[in-house]
């Protein structure tokens, strides 16, 4: 880790905590270590130096850790953040969940005091998280304008990437979630958090983006013929897209054009889709269902109206949000959400997908609860479909080296 050249900032009002962390970091080979005893001092350091990782206490006088997070979010800070607290475990867990609402790379919220082993583990995790595709780009450029987004799409920069979904009972490939990836003319990637929020603010942008991604994916799928005849393909469909009166008819015609069956296509609707014109959204979902497309509730557990929707609309699947899956082994509340979501799905006869499975222990845990399908980096990250290779006789996913 000694090649970590950018600075590390330790923010804590207790000198003994700052000094202990300083020694840990020094022993790990770090040289540019800065200290601040409150949020106000931290802002001065962040403005004056290049900081790649921040260790920040939450409960401090003058300006607390949440003020630091607000400042970092306003600056679109691209580095890693470790939150520290001396509060009881339940408050610590709730604080961690709240902190993740900020658009920042929060690695973990840990209890003080921190041991040498914990600091080393957190820094390793920070390097891994910052390297994961889909987080903030290295210099956190601002979101694209709608005009620039359209320009990149018109120049052929929009691609469909595929992330495998695995049957937990058999270990075999069940299907893929299709994700939008955008590239500039020079081949560099535009990160999702730079263009998805822009698209979602404009009806024309999100509708065009959704249709283009579906067509791109269908073109890729079409090249594999019978190899993919029994696989499913899930697409994110926003509320704004469903507001387009002819979208179900367009999807039906496009699916037929590429010789796919509607039963292979899963329309994933985020819970935020249930907060707009409910009559219109429900009507469109029922149209899709009658056309034999499958319906899924994405990010289940993050909103308030999904249970009512499960009762009102014949969904085929729910996806437990990854924020609960990621820490279900260390956070009792997250574990409870995961367990209750799976039990609810089983009780009403719909499949359940756990996204965010990053290791075997999490995979084994959700499988033991009766979860049907797993998705996450343990299996594969999103890639072009051509990257994946599978044996059609025994369809277990493997990626090319």
Among the ranges given (74-78, 159-163, 204-208), the one the predictor scored with the smallest mean pLDDT? 74-78
The answer to whether the CB of 274 falls within 8 A of the CB of 310 is no
Percent of all residues in the chain with a pLDDT value above 70, rounded to a whole number: 83
Question: Rounded to whole angstroms, how far apart are CA atoms 229 and 321?
Answer: 28
**Got the DSSP string for 87-101?**
S-HHHHHHHHHHHTT
Cα–Cα distance list, 230 to 26, 75, 233, 329, 355 (Å): 55, 46, 10, 33, 21
pLDDT category, 392, cuts 50, 70, 90? very low
pLDDT confidence of residue 169 = 92
Residues forming a β-bridge with 399: 388
* Inter-residue contact 285 to 335 (CB < 8 Å): no
The pLDDT value given to residue 99: 65
DSSP code at position 243: T
Determine which of 192-201, 265-274, 341-350, 358-367 has the lowest per-residue pLDDT on average.
265-274
Weakest-pLDDT range from 86-90, 200-204, 208-212, 274-278: 274-278
Q: What pLDDT, on a 0 to 100 scale, did the predictor assign at position 275?
A: 52
- In this prediction, residue 96 carries a pLDDT of 66
Residue 124, pLDDT score: 81
302 compared with 323, residue with greater pLDDT: 323
Contact 82, 55 (CB under 8 A): yes
Q: Check residues 317 and 330 and name the one with the higher pLDDT.
A: 317
Per-residue pLDDT at 317 = 94
Cα–Cα distance between 114 and 145 in angstroms, integer?
Answer: 43
Confidence at residue 131, expressed as pLDDT on a 0 to 100 scale: 54
Q: For 137-189, what is each residue's pLDDT tens digit?
A: 444 456 778 888 888 988 889 999 999 999 999 998 999 999 999 999 888 88
- Please state whether the peptide bond connecting residue 113 to the residue before it is cis, i.e. omega within 30 degrees of 0: yes
Residues 6+ positions from 365 with CB-CB distance below 8 Å: 328, 329, 335, 338
Label residue 92 by pLDDT band (50, 70, 90).
low
Tokens of 388: 């994946």
What is the pLDDT of the chain when averaged over all its residues? Answer: 84
The per-residue pLDDT for 145 is: 84
Output 137 or 99, whichever has higher pLDDT: 99
More confidently predicted of 197 and 5: 197
Contact 205, 198 (CB under 8 A): yes
CATH C-level class of 7-131: alpha beta
CA distance 288 to 282: 10
Cα 40 from Cα 36, distance rounded (Å): 8
Please report where in the chains the tokens 């040498």 appear, as a residue: 116
- What distance separates the 2 farthest-apart alpha carbons in the chain? 67
Backbone φ and ψ for 167, nearest 5 degrees, come out as -70, 120
The pLDDT value recorded for residue 108 is 81
Top-tier CATH class for 146-399: alpha beta
pLDDT of residue 334: 86
Same-fold call for 7-131 versus 146-399? no
Contacts of 68 (CB under 8 A, 6+ apart): 11, 39, 42, 43, 54, 56
d(CA 305, CA 316) in angstroms, rounded, equals 17
Q: What per-residue confidence (pLDDT) applies to 288?
A: 95
Report how far residue 233's alpha carbon sits from residue 379's, in angstroms, rounded to the nearest whole number: 16
Query: Which tens digit of pLDDT belongs to each residue from 350-375?
Result: 999 999 998 999 999 999 999 999 99
- Grade residue 231 by pLDDT with cuts at 50, 70 and 90: very high
What pLDDT score does 273 carry? 52
Q: What is the pTM of this model?
A: 0.69
User: Which pLDDT score is estimated for 393?
Assistant: 39
Return the domain boundaries, the chain. 7-131, 146-399
pLDDT at 51 over 60: yes
Per-residue confidence (pLDDT) for residue 4, from 0 to 100: 41
Nearest alpha carbon to residue 327 among 300, 356, 367: 356
| pLDDT over 90 percentage in the chain | 43
| Sequential DSSP letters for 265-300 | EEEEEEGGGGGS-HHHHHHHHHHHHHTT-EEEEEEE
Q: Tokens 């956070």 sit at which residue?
A: 331
Query: H or E stretch including 318?
Result: strand 317-320
Average pLDDT over residues 20-33: 90
């Amino acid at each position: 880790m000694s090649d970590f050249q950018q600075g590390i900032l330790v923010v804590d009002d207790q000198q003994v905590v700052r000094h202990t962390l300083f020694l840990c970091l020094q022993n790990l080979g770090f040289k540019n270590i800065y200290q601040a005893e409150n949020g106000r001092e931290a802002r001065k350091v962040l403005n004056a130096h290049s900081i790649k990782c921040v260790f920040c206490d939450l409960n401090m006088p003058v300006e607390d850790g949440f003020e630091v997070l607000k400042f970092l979010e306003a600056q679109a800070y691209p580095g890693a953040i470790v939150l520290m607290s001396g509060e009881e475990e339940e408050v610590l867990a709730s604080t961690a969940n709240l902190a993740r609402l900020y658009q920042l790379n929060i690695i973990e919220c840990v209890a003080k005091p921190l041991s040498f082993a914990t600091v080393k583990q957190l820094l390793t995790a920070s390097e891994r998280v910052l390297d994961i595709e889909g987080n903030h780009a290295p210099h956190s450029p601002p979101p694209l304008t709608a005009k620039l987004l359209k320009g990149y799409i018109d120049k052929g920069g929009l691609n469909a990437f595929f992330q495998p979904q695995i049957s937990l009972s058999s270990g075999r490939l069940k299907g893929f979630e299709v994700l939008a990836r955008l590239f500039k003319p020079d081949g560099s990637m535009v990160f999702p958090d730079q263009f998805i929020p822009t698209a979602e603010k404009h009806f024309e942008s999100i509708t065009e983006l959704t249709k283009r991604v579906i067509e791109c994916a269908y073109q890729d799928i079409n090249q594999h013929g019978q190899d993919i005849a029994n696989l499913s393909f899930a697409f994110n469909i926003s509320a704004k897209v469903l507001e387009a009166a002819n979208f179900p008819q367009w999807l039906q015609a496009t699916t037929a054009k590429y010789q796919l069956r509607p039963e292979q296509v899963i329309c994933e609707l985020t819970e935020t889709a249930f907060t707009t014109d409910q009559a219109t959204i429900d009507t469109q979902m029922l149209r899709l269902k009658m056309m034999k497309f499958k319906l899924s509730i994405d990010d289940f557990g993050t909103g308030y109206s999904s249970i009512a929707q499960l009762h009102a609309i014949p969904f085929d699947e729910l996806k437990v949000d990854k924020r609960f899956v990621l820490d279900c082994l260390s956070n009792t509340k997250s574990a409870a959400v995961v367990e209750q979501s799976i039990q609810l799905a089983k009780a009403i006869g719909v499949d359940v997908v756990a996204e965010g499975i990053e290791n075997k222990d999490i995979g084994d845990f959700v499988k033991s609860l009766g979860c049907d399908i797993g998705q996450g980096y343990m299996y594969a990250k999103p890639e072009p479909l051509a990257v994946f290779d599978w044996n059609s006789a025994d369809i277990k996913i493997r990626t090319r080296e």
